[in-house]
Structure 1
């Protein structure tokens, strides 16, 4: 009986010859439709290094065909092998893999002569791009189905013990919702909603060629869906809905996985769409060299391999340079490099010190340098009434531009906006910085909410309060806070925040702040007297948190006629009066310019 499908072909890597095949209606042992490789098809003479580990079944089949003499050196294509008879394989992917010598998605790589992939000719529910899924099976009613059923039998399943018989692949979500509401009526409403989503994804979204992952015994296992869904009788009700999967022979240690992949794997659902990190999954077990070779091999369009290489681009924070240290008037570039290293290790730090020590200026300039420009830097300022809804997301009144009606709508705050920007494709290797000015002026536990957890556990996800989304802080998002110590609020910072941030002091008694004004005056070609006056002033202030920073004297207005006296009278003395509020003593006599200048003038001694 003739096949209802057209003829398919696949080009071997590096612009090699074209193999030919035919999709069969008969199903293989793994539940997929079988595929016939036609006699006379060329075969790549070598395999890529990861092939035996990632696709052991296809590798073993290929080697057996060579050993049996069914694949032999080719006379038509010198340097290649070829098939001397029709070879029936369990799936289109395994058929493609024995020809190209590497992992292959046969549903996409086998094409008609006019370029249409095999998947276009399957059932309508299998249209669309391939996805990557996580299905949990290590603890289904106390049983590890991964080790007991999935890996040994090349399956993946979802427990649906109460589901009525006759549920078929491709069922609509509306119909499935009716079934779940009736069959699971004693289950909580929120759980029924989740069951509908998971059942619909397994039955109607998942398709052959999709990648499926699961976790067991601290390892991530990866496979390819090779066939449709079926409902089977399961005595224990743990595996009623099943799909065939060809699993790779090895697992990947969870602790060694990319952080962004760990974030997605931490989402607490039984079935999770991992398509946003599909490239990270596809790259497991494959070196950059292998991926680059395959991307340029001419097999397919190379887009999958290129996507993996792009996703693997390392996040980097550039090392501060001598030029940056000179621009910021920092005494030693090594100090800047230590700040950079703390950011790299912890991804959060706080610059703290008295007013006028350049905390905000340094945070902005350093963030712009490390991120590559101001477009990746956002600044917010905390205050006592600042809340989670202002910072991350919340419902705010907004006017509909058409109806002019005002309604409360979920609106993203600055952290959510920056996190979404940082996690976009193409941005993941680019550092993004959130500067939080006066971070200690807000109720941090109230402002951060559940995000407090993510500051410490960057490889985890949490369920958001308002949107209900599963959210994780992107690995390329860094936070720099500034904190004023003059109001004593640093003493109120709790241990939870101290554990999540590194703290760097900017104080007039320490470099780079102590010599900042003197270096600035030298660069501007001005007399060093203001620096001398500031040193004497701070020597008279016993509490280091109340000492005056150099920024007050690093403005052009200070150096116009009478500017220094005006700045001292209107900015510095009022600041010191506030510090000494309620105390006896003459502020002018102790901290005034005349008193400080007198201290700088050498006194003559009589003999």
Structure 2
């Protein structure tokens, strides 16, 4: 903030903030300094833009906003309030829609004024519900009651679900606490409901994710545009945006409903990747679009990782939308998604365990940010079959199949859904573990695409590369002869070993064959007593592709 920055610089120039004599590379105040707002004070301390109601916290971690009385100000919000199964009653049909209200059950809560601070409300709930709710249940109740009493305000949008339909309305008044039968609806707000409901199954996937969160009150502001567009066509929304340019809700709804697209593969991409035709790339794109998860599998050296990264960069629009993860036998859920890890405090040098995000959580949060939701993001998992997948994915296995749902996370306890614009491409080396050993749960959640020397685009890849690089075709002939002698298709040798510049220096082919290819085959035939060099060595293969003349000596 320019004003806060200037104030901070003036304080330093006037000596009211000076280098600390106790903390190296830190400043300290030399006198009391009055700021115009909590945010201005936080920005001076942190040296960046900051929300003071969140940044200022007690030693227990409670933010300043918890101690502020009165209704919350700011832009309008969108909320979900559940009322279809409250103590066995469907309040939506019996009370909310006929009487024009929304309610929340709080039968044991003493009288609480609208706009009550979260700190005071926490005290009320701890005392009033001590014998009826567990500690975690009381924490959740505080969040829901505070949202209903202090965060909601007239002008906010509210949604609810009943009998497979989603109903939308607008809050038109303040909260009040009344007596009700069994305390099922004693906290109330007046609402003007739209009569028409919207079938749940027809809602956008991103909205279904939020509506599946199992709380009585959920903040839906992140998908407010999707809610605003329910029941209206794109043409109606665009016309409304033109007629009322000062009201951005219609424009936001149009942008929110814009379809995510994966770009059409091009001839140039096929030529760059040396793929035999564009139709194969289109099929890969369609599989990604339909399944969201795909695995390239095949023998070593078939270009699985290279192809996965290149396609991810093309479909995502650049490398900044792609994250690579390497699986291994000791990889775990805590490494992949989130878990407690030791973190050192830079000031005290003390070590404490804190919940830390893994690569999937980081990429999912990036993809879900405002402005990123219509941009494809890709997670490439190399050697996906080398880890214990059930252990690594945990409850996320469910989300791979049901992208329109949310789950409660193991460590943080937050509700989480995989963004619709997050795609996963895995690679699987069949020489390490046959695809037949992959469990049914993974098979059901991923599309499998084979990259093998038996079929295109891998079969002719080396010959296309040799032609582009203006090399002789002998390496391709030798590779074909080699693979014709290997009985197990999972151990066929891919062309990437022979698609490197070092192979075509003096002695490079022989060196690569001796140090890269033959060791793989020795491992494959370990314990069989087979002379690998005699069967798969270059002299034997050269003889096979070009038999010697009758008077020429036969190589041993």
In which range does the TM-score fall when normalised by the shorter chain?
0.7 to 0.9
Q: CA deviation at 1:125?
A: 1.2
| Partners of 1:581 and 1:487 in 2: CA distance | 15
Is it true that 1:593 corresponds to 2:535 in the alignment? no
Please name the residue that 1:44 is paired with.
none
| Partners of 2:247 and 2:238 in 1: CA distance | 9
Please name the residue that 1:142 is paired with.
88
2:231 aligned to which of 277, 285, 289: 285
Q: Which structure 2 residues correspond to residues 414-563 of structure 1 after superposition, within 5 A?
A: 414-563=359-508
Q: Over residues 527-565 of structure 1, what are the superposed CA-to-partner deviations in whole Å (9 max), with x where a residue is unaligned?
A: 111000100000000110011000000000000111111
| Partners of 2:74 and 2:317 in 1: CA distance | 37
Is it true that 1:363 corresponds to 2:308 in the alignment? yes
Question: Is this contact kept in 1: 2:70–2:116, CA < 8 A?
Answer: no
1:374 aligned to which of 305, 319, 338: 319
Question: Is this contact kept in 2: 1:441–1:489, CA < 8 A?
Answer: no
Secondary structure of 1:250 counterpart: coil
Secondary structure of 1:268 counterpart: coil
1:214 aligned to which of 138, 160, 164: 160
Is it true that 1:271 corresponds to 2:217 in the alignment? yes
Q: CA deviation at 1:292?
A: 2.0
| Partners of 2:142 and 2:85 in 1: CA distance | 20
Please name the residue that 1:197 is paired with.
143
Please name the residue that 1:338 is paired with.
283
| Partners of 1:372 and 1:167 in 2: CA distance | 52
Secondary structure of 2:297 counterpart: strand
Please name the residue that 1:9 is paired with.
none
Q: Which structure 2 residues correspond to residues 12-51 of structure 1 after superposition, within 5 A?
A: none
Please name the residue that 2:109 is paired with.
163
Please name the residue that 1:564 is paired with.
509
Please name the residue that 1:71 is paired with.
none
Question: Which is worse superposed, 501-510 or 167-176?
Answer: 167-176
Q: Which structure 2 residues correspond to residues 46-125 of structure 1 after superposition, within 5 A?
A: 124-125=70-71
Question: Which is worse superposed, 229-238 or 347-356?
Answer: 229-238
Is it true that 1:307 corresponds to 2:260 in the alignment? no
Task: Give the root-mean-square deviation of aligned CA atoms.
Answer: 1.5
| Partners of 2:351 and 2:112 in 1: CA distance | 44
Q: CA deviation at 1:233?
A: 1.1
2:329 aligned to which of 384, 389, 396: 384
TM-score, normalising length: structure 2: 0.85
Question: Is this contact kept in 2: 1:371–1:432, CA < 8 A?
Answer: yes
When Rg is computed on C-alpha atoms for both structures, the one with the higher figure is: 1
| Partners of 1:593 and 1:129 in 2: CA distance | 73
Is it true that 1:324 corresponds to 2:269 in the alignment? yes
Is it true that 1:226 corresponds to 2:172 in the alignment? yes
Secondary structure of 1:397 counterpart: strand
Please name the residue that 1:33 is paired with.
none
Question: Is this contact kept in 2: 1:126–1:208, CA < 8 A?
Answer: no
| Partners of 1:555 and 1:282 in 2: CA distance | 55
Q: CA deviation at 1:127?
A: 2.1
| Partners of 1:439 and 1:396 in 2: CA distance | 23
Alignment gaps of 5+ in structure 2: 1-68, 552-556
Question: Is this contact kept in 1: 2:434–2:490, CA < 8 A?
Answer: no
Secondary structure of 1:296 counterpart: helix
| Partners of 2:370 and 2:384 in 1: CA distance | 30
Q: Over residues 425-466 of structure 1, what are the superposed CA-to-partner deviations in whole Å (9 max), with x where a residue is unaligned?
A: 111010000000000111111111111111111000111111
Q: Over residues 141-188 of structure 1, what are the superposed CA-to-partner deviations in whole Å (9 max), with x where a residue is unaligned?
A: 111000001111111001112223x32211222222222222222222
Secondary structure of 2:404 counterpart: coil
2:121 aligned to which of 164, 176, 197: 176
Question: Is this contact kept in 2: 1:296–1:302, CA < 8 A?
Answer: no
Is it true that 1:294 corresponds to 2:243 in the alignment? no
Secondary structure of 2:183 counterpart: coil
Q: CA deviation at 1:602?
A: 4.3
Secondary structure of 1:577 counterpart: helix
2:78 aligned to which of 114, 118, 132: 132
Alignment gaps of 5+ in structure 1: 1-122
| Partners of 1:278 and 1:142 in 2: CA distance | 29
Secondary structure of 1:139 counterpart: coil
Please name the residue that 1:238 is paired with.
184
Question: Is this contact kept in 1: 2:385–2:433, CA < 8 A?
Answer: no
Question: Is this contact kept in 1: 2:70–2:150, CA < 8 A?
Answer: no
| Partners of 1:172 and 1:553 in 2: CA distance | 69
Q: How many residues align?
A: 482
Secondary structure of 1:386 counterpart: coil
Q: Over residues 12-52 of structure 1, what are the superposed CA-to-partner deviations in whole Å (9 max), with x where a residue is unaligned?
A: xxxxxxxxxxxxxxxxxxxxxxxxxxxxxxxxxxxxxxxxx
- Structure 1 runs of 4+ aligned residues shifted over 3 Å read 602-606
| Partners of 2:120 and 2:317 in 1: CA distance | 51
| Partners of 1:560 and 1:421 in 2: CA distance | 44
Please name the residue that 1:410 is paired with.
355
Q: Over residues 44-84 of structure 1, what are the superposed CA-to-partner deviations in whole Å (9 max), with x where a residue is unaligned?
A: xxxxxxxxxxxxxxxxxxxxxxxxxxxxxxxxxxxxxxxxx
| Partners of 2:547 and 2:523 in 1: CA distance | 31
